């Protein structure tokens, strides 16, 4: 056995190999998709070192295993076997090199106690001698490159090991760059697919931070200053971005539309789906559709583009400010509470309808109720009723109704913060898993 410190390592490298290392380094620097290039490099390495085979073993830290993603082997059956093979990372000379970070030259593997014969048994081949060099990254070892069975009578030389170790440096950098590029490409592709599908937001690159900014920017923060109606809403985002939203808009001087919704899932897809739903719903509502018809149209628009198989719950109501009549339809959302001027809180009557974005041809029911002078409405998402304390107990509907009963005759600017603070007080230091969103109005 020999390592880099053995015989003639200071003898340098012949110009042909130095030039080859330079050319290969340039090729790696210009390439981020490595499969074809690494195969050519291993074949060239095997040729230069006059060996029977060359391979790269990468480290899988999750399973603590080494595997063969790249092989230069003339025996097709043996190559196929290696590509499917995994073994514990603490086995064999490859495992020792991975741990030590030092290249080795083994003149006789049979006499080396570290040699793991399991690979030979699987491939039906015999390893007589080998070179093995570590692949190092800034985060630590990522694998090894090894060359087996010198065809020459003298076996591998110390100069061969110097060459392989130098080549390993370029390969390790290239593999690490390729991994980073692949991760970035996958993330960018996912974002671009969402943008194409929903035609809503472009050039997203900063994952959850951007999604959270999108979510916060979409919900209204300016509220009307009128004598006939008061409106106020708020959203307390969870640490992970969700898909809650609320909205309100005047259809004309005497009709106010109010919306609240909750998209399934978390992260950028939920934020994007929420943005699209909110845009479609507002556009459809402003075209004059009644609540049930508005939900039906939005559902039909969402389904063809919903390749992510997400869904959204939505409540949509129209308040006629002159008469106090509230027309509403519901798509699987928590029904709002009617806040009476006498201080009572009651849930609106249920209407037919299911979540949006899943089932084609769904019809939605509608209903109406009259808001008297001083009556209000409280809309919310399940982030309120499903908020948990340290023992996993839900805030639930009963606690929400009790909290609303204490402020049922208060202004929306008082109702919404009171409920949110009640939820926060109940949860204590327990991290919330969903957005807490509420919208209130009073006629």
pLDDT digits (tens, 9 = 90+) for 168-190: 888 888 888 877 787 888 888 88
**Residue 368 counted as domain residue:** yes
pLDDT band at residue 7 under the 50/70/90 scheme? very low
- The better pLDDT of the pair 41, 255 is held by 255
Query: Residue 93 belongs to a domain with what CATH number?
Result: 3.30.450.40
In this prediction, residue 346 carries a pLDDT of: 93
Least confident of 26-35, 38-47, 56-65, 410-419: 26-35
CA dihedral 17, 19, 25, 26 (to 10 degrees): -160
Q: What is the DSSP string of 249-279?
A: EEEETTEEEEEEEEESS-HHHHHHHHHHHHH
pLDDT band at residue 37 under the 50/70/90 scheme? confident
Task: Check residue 431 and report its DSSP letter.
Answer: P
pLDDT band at residue 212 under the 50/70/90 scheme? low
**Residue 366 counted as domain residue:** yes
- The better pLDDT of the pair 187, 24 is held by 187
**Residue 428 and residue 305 share a domain:** yes
In this prediction, residue 240 carries a pLDDT of: 64
**Residue 80 and residue 11 share a domain:** yes
**Residue 204 counted as domain residue:** no
In this prediction, residue 192 carries a pLDDT of: 79
- Largest separation between any pair of C-alpha atoms in the chain: 102
**Residue 194 counted as domain residue:** no
The yes-or-no verdict on residue 337 having pLDDT over 60 is yes
- The better pLDDT of the pair 218, 104 is held by 104
**Residue 75 and residue 167 share a domain:** yes
Mean pLDDT (the chain) is 87
**Residue 148 and residue 238 share a domain:** no
**Residue 227 and residue 120 share a domain:** no
**Residue 182 and residue 329 share a domain:** no
**Residue 436 and residue 305 share a domain:** yes
10 Å CB burial of residue 350 (0-12, 13-18, 19+) is exposed
CA distances from 33 to 133, 176, 182, 380 (A): 22, 11, 8, 48
In this prediction, residue 182 carries a pLDDT of: 79
In this prediction, residue 161 carries a pLDDT of: 94
* Stretch 202-225: mean pLDDT: 68
The verdict on pTM exceeding 0.85 is no
**Residue 171 and residue 261 share a domain:** no
Q: In what helix (H) or strand (E) does residue 133 lie, and over which residues does it extend?
A: strand 130-137
**Residue 58 counted as domain residue:** yes
Distance from C-alpha of 158 to C-alpha of 93, rounded to nearest angstrom = 17
**Residue 208 counted as domain residue:** no
**Residue 25 and residue 172 share a domain:** yes
Domain enclosing residue 66, as ranges = 2-187
Q: Helix, strand, or coil here: 412?
A: helix
What share of the chain has pLDDT > 70, as a percent? Answer: 90
* Stretch 318-329: mean pLDDT: 96
**Residue 40 and residue 106 share a domain:** yes
**Residue 309 counted as domain residue:** yes
Query: Residue 399 belongs to a domain with what CATH number?
Result: 3.60.40.10
The yes-or-no verdict on residue 11 having pLDDT over 50 is no
pLDDT band at residue 388 under the 50/70/90 scheme? very high
The residue among 167, 187, 207 that closes a domain is 187
Q: What is the DSSP string of 10-74?
A: GG---HHHHHHHHHHHHHHHT-S--HHHHHHHHHHHHHHTTEEEEEEEEEETTTTEEEEEEEEES
**Residue 358 and residue 314 share a domain:** yes
* Stretch 214-234: mean pLDDT: 85
The yes-or-no verdict on residue 5 having pLDDT over 60 is no
For 268-293, how does the pLDDT look when each residue is reduced to its tens digit (9 = 90+)?
Answer: 788 788 888 999 999 999 998 999 99
Looking at the structure of the chain, the number of domains it has is 2
In this prediction, residue 241 carries a pLDDT of: 67
Least confident of 95-109, 163-177, 182-196, 401-415: 182-196
Distance from C-alpha of 208 to C-alpha of 52, rounded to nearest angstrom = 49
In this prediction, residue 236 carries a pLDDT of: 84
The yes-or-no verdict on residue 249 having pLDDT over 60 is yes
The yes-or-no verdict on residue 369 having pLDDT over 60 is yes
Which one, of 181, 171, 167, 116, lies nearest residue 142 by Cα?
A: 171
**Residue 202 counted as domain residue:** no
Distance from C-alpha of 145 to C-alpha of 48, rounded to nearest angstrom = 15
Task: Check residue 433 and report its DSSP letter.
Answer: S
In this prediction, residue 200 carries a pLDDT of: 45
CA dihedral 408, 413, 414, 420 (to 10 degrees): 100
**Residue 158 and residue 260 share a domain:** no
Least confident of 170-174, 243-247, 318-322: 170-174
């Amino acid at each position: 056995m020999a390592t880099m410190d053995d015989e003639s390592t200071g003898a340098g490298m012949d110009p042909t190999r130095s030039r080859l290392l330079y050319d290969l380094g340039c090729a790696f620097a210009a390439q981020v998709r490595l499969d074809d290039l690494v195969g050519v490099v291993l074949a060239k390495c095997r040729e230069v070192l006059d060996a029977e085979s060359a391979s790269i073993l990468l480290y899988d830290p999750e399973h603590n295993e080494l595997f063969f993603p790249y092989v230069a082997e003339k025996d097709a059956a043996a190559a196929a076997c290696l590509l499917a093979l995994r073994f514990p990372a603490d086995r064999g000379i490859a495992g020792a090199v991975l741990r030590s970070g030092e290249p080795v030259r083994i003149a006789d593997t049979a006499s080396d106690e570290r040699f793991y014969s399991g690979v030979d048994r699987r491939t039906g081949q015999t390893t007589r001698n080998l070179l093995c060099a570590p692949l190092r990254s800034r985060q630590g070892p990522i694998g090894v490159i090894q060359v087996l069975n010198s065809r020459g009578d003298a076996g591998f030389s110390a100069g061969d090991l110097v060459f392989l170790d130098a080549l390993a440096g370029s390969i390790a950098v290239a593999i690490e760059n390729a991994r980073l590029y692949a991760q970035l490409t996958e993330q960018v592709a996912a974002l671009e697919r969402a943008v194409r599908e929903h035609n809503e937001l472009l050039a997203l690159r900063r994952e959850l931070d951007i999604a959270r900014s999108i979510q916060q920017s979409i919900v209204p923060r300016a509220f009307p200053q009128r004598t006939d109606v008061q409106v106020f809403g708020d959203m307390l985002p969870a640490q992970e971005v969700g898909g809650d939203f609320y909205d309100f808009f005047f259809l004309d001087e005497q009709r106010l539309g109010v919306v609240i919704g909750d998209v399934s899932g978390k992260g950028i897809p939920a934020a994007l789906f929420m943005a699209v739903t909110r845009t479609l719903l507002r556009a459809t509502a402003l075209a004059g559709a009644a609540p049930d018809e508005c939900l039906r149209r939005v559902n039909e628009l969402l389904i063809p583009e919903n390749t992510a198989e997400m869904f959204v719950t939505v409540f949509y109501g129209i308040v006629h400010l002159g008469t106090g009549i509230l027309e509403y339809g519901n798509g699987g959302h928590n029904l709002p509470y009617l806040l009476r001027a006498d201080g009572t809180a009651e849930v609106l009557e249920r209407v037919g309808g299911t979540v949006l974005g899943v089932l084609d041809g769904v019809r939605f029911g509608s209903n109406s109720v009259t808001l008297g002078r001083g009556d209000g409405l409280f809309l919310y998402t399940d982030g309120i009723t499903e908020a948990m304390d340290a023992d996993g107990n839900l805030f639930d509907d009963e606690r929400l109704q009790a909290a609303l009963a204490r402020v049922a005759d208060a202004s929306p600017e008082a109702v919404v913060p009171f409920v949110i603070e009640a939820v926060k007080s109940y949860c204590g230091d327990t991290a919330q898993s969903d957005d807490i969103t509420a919208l209130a109005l009073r006629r």
